[in-house]
Structure 1
């Protein structure tokens, strides 16, 4: 038996310009009903970020005075500068704490809004069903949970980091230009030469970082998918634990899960190798940066043109400028992960948009007093014909049973009536009355039994005593005392009991039209006859 796990056939490629589509994903929140609070928080975070740059500029000036005091053995100036630094540090700590706190507040508010929007979009137009059946996208749970979380946090982190970097770069570039002086090289006088040295050092580093680490974008995307696939497989084992246990399928499942983890393992090893090469370069780049400024500025210091304080100020300013120029290098791994997250979110939204724009081949409407099929043809995705040019009219009050071999299309016809089947053509005209579908395997949400019975409506819609009545009618009297217990009812109840709960739900809803798809298949003869 082959347990190899093929790569997902889902395509996470995004049509159109990447940044224009990300912009459309980012901007709606800032124009939404929450825009006032969102902008207040964003402006506050930006102000605190700029304030941290101002603190860094003050510390840079402090370096010059402090080291000059040490060089001159000036105890009074030394004491004053230590107290001055303590004041700056206290204010910086306060600013850093509130910058983090407000950023987290903005992130979770943005995530909540985006999550609610995506929940609504995913559940609208049967997207959750059609995307799963058609294989247009994988692991929607991951995209709605982890990817939205990563998108909001990384987008704010990267954008605010870039803003702070730009402001800091301008501030310290002015300082570095002013204190570094000029140098003559090959007969050419270069003003502000330390600034140009930092620029060249960072530019070369950024280019090499991208060349070494560019594979991380694709690998990060694949890693997220493989992790989600493995979690889904684990959930499948939990959901089907009884069938697996009765079949002694543990060894089989172990091989399947190991195959899933094998994809995680293999891809992670590839990521490790790329990150190892990238870390070799970035770590060396950072270590060289520590002494690079001293090496370049040393000739002017030993020539007596600058004092120790100026040398330390130059080193501090150079470090800030070089660090700001190197933002791309330091953020590269996060940028790669953010790009992969954006690709997954955008492809998810694209799949939902395409599904909503797809014109249904079978027209389903609610406009008559009878159930009518007009020229209805149904087929499977492979082309096999199930039904051809069916015309029928069923009046209210009639009872009709469809019979046929398994796979002949009975359930497919009900799916077409429910607007779920896309292979075929023709029209289905449903009565404009209260209708209820009872599938073979009913869905019982996790919650109280009262909520499971009233689904998809709230329990408050029905009289409280009505719940006990329908349970007694469906031979489920032993569950009356448990109406307000919260359980995973699909695990607690047998298949026959689940189907009887579904009938109790139908009695509670009291539809004018009831459609059943082998809704008694798990019941014994006595229950079925009742």
Structure 2
């Protein structure tokens, strides 16, 4: 089979399973779902910039010593963003993203706004954690420089900044580790109910024969509903979060490396892209092997 055709077929199956929970698929085009995903990212990025600006303004007004000690250089970078075309552009994208959700508010009724809200919060937390990770990379460099230069006072000041970053990052990680399974549980509950209603309607369970080996598309429906629904929702969310986090980390540290050495950044860029492509090429059969393993285990259990 043509790889592109196979990919389109898998994406169509994924859309039928994933999209209806976030947006009704019957009267919705696929581009509308993708538009809302892009709008969600725009809202999160704009909200992150506004949140960071508000925190800096609040700390500068209430505890200026705290901001100058634990956030060195951050107010200047945020001010540079607002003074450049990037700041107004982010605000325009934020307004456009909110406008998209307002335009689709009729399809987000009956609790369908909840998964979008949870995804927005999770993405926001990922952005914050990646920003903290970038800051920690500079802090670690400054710690080594202070140790090499025997600067005790500067060393303890940098260690305090490092501890401050960890204190902020740990509860964010805890909240993120709670919200992702929570969203997966809500999605699994909806998907299991949808599959059960279709399985029990019109006596479909009599038509489906798990022992018929000629049927390749449907086998072991009880196992698919009880286990695969949980695996699908949990794995889909984990992979999505990991992809977003990896892309943000990749872009963030490429920018950091570019400020140090553009040649080094290009070499590492080529290395990472090439290594990722090699891994994908070498492990492309693992998905089918995992599917066959689950199918055979379900057949064995049914046979018993």
Scaled by the length of structure 1, the TM-score of the pair is 0.38
Q: Does 1:214 align with 2:284?
A: yes
> Secondary structure of 1:132's partner?
coil
Cα deviation digits, residues 159-178 of structure 1 (max 9, x gap) = 12111222222222111101
2:152 equivalent in structure 1 = 75
1:336-347 equivalence runs, <5 A = none
Provide the rounded CA distance (Å) in 2 between the counterparts of 1:51 and 1:120.
Answer: 40
- The answer on whether the counterparts of 2:254 and 2:269 sit within 8 Å (CA) in structure 1 is no
Residues 170 and 44 of structure 1: is their aligned pair in 2 closer, same or farther, counting only changes over 3 Å?
A: same
Provide the rounded CA distance (Å) in 1 between the counterparts of 2:288 and 2:166.
Answer: 42
2:11 equivalent in structure 1 = 19
Q: Does 1:106 align with 2:98?
A: no
Cα deviation digits, residues 350-408 of structure 1 (max 9, x gap) = xxxxxxxxxxxxxxxxxxxxxxxxxxxxxxxxxxxxxxxxxxxxxxxxxxxxxxxxxxx
Tell me by how many angstroms 1:133 deviates: 7.1
1:99-248 equivalence runs, <5 A = 99-132=176-209, 135=212, 136=215, 137-180=218-261, 192-234=262-304
Larger Rg computed on CA atoms: 1
Q: Per chain length, whose mean CA-contact separation is higher, i.e. which structure has more relative contact order (CA < 8 Å, sep 6+)?
A: 2
1:14-413 equivalence runs, <5 A = 17-31=9-23, 33-132=110-209, 135=212, 136=215, 137-180=218-261, 192-234=262-304
- The answer on whether the counterparts of 2:210 and 2:221 sit within 8 Å (CA) in structure 1 is no
Tell me by how many angstroms 1:16 deviates: 6.5
Tell me by how many angstroms 1:210 deviates: 2.8
Tell me by how many angstroms 1:216 deviates: 1.1
Residues 60 and 218 of structure 1: is their aligned pair in 2 closer, same or farther, counting only changes over 3 Å?
A: same
2:76 equivalent in structure 1 = none
Provide the rounded CA distance (Å) in 2 between the counterparts of 1:194 and 1:138.
Answer: 51
Cα deviation digits, residues 278-325 of structure 1 (max 9, x gap) = xxxxxxxxxxxxxxxxxxxxxxxxxxxxxxxxxxxxxxxxxxxxxxxx
> Secondary structure of 2:208's partner?
helix
4+ residue runs over 6 A deviation: none
Tell me by how many angstroms 1:207 deviates: 2.9
Scaled by the length of structure 2, the TM-score of the pair is 0.65
Residues 19 and 75 of structure 1: is their aligned pair in 2 closer, same or farther, counting only changes over 3 Å?
A: same
Residues 120 and 212 of structure 1: is their aligned pair in 2 closer, same or farther, counting only changes over 3 Å?
A: same
Which moved further from structure 2: 87-96 or 165-174? 165-174
Provide the rounded CA distance (Å) in 2 between the counterparts of 1:39 and 1:107.
Answer: 12
Tell me by how many angstroms 1:206 deviates: 2.2
Gaps spanning 5+ residues in structure 2: where?
Answer: 1-5, 25-109
Higher strand share: 1
Provide the rounded CA distance (Å) in 2 between the counterparts of 1:15 and 1:173.
Answer: 30
Higher helix share: 2
Tell me by how many angstroms 1:21 deviates: 2.5
1:518 equivalent in structure 2 = none
Cα deviation digits, residues 256-283 of structure 1 (max 9, x gap) = xxxxxxxxxxxxxxxxxxxxxxxxxxxx
Provide the rounded CA distance (Å) in 2 between the counterparts of 1:228 and 1:107.
Answer: 23
Tell me by how many angstroms 1:134 deviates: 8.1
Provide the rounded CA distance (Å) in 2 between the counterparts of 1:206 and 1:103.
Answer: 25
Residues 97 and 80 of structure 1: is their aligned pair in 2 closer, same or farther, counting only changes over 3 Å?
A: same
> Secondary structure of 1:145's partner?
helix
Provide the aligned length of Structure 1 versus Structure 2.
Answer: 210
Provide the rounded CA distance (Å) in 2 between the counterparts of 1:207 and 1:113.
Answer: 35
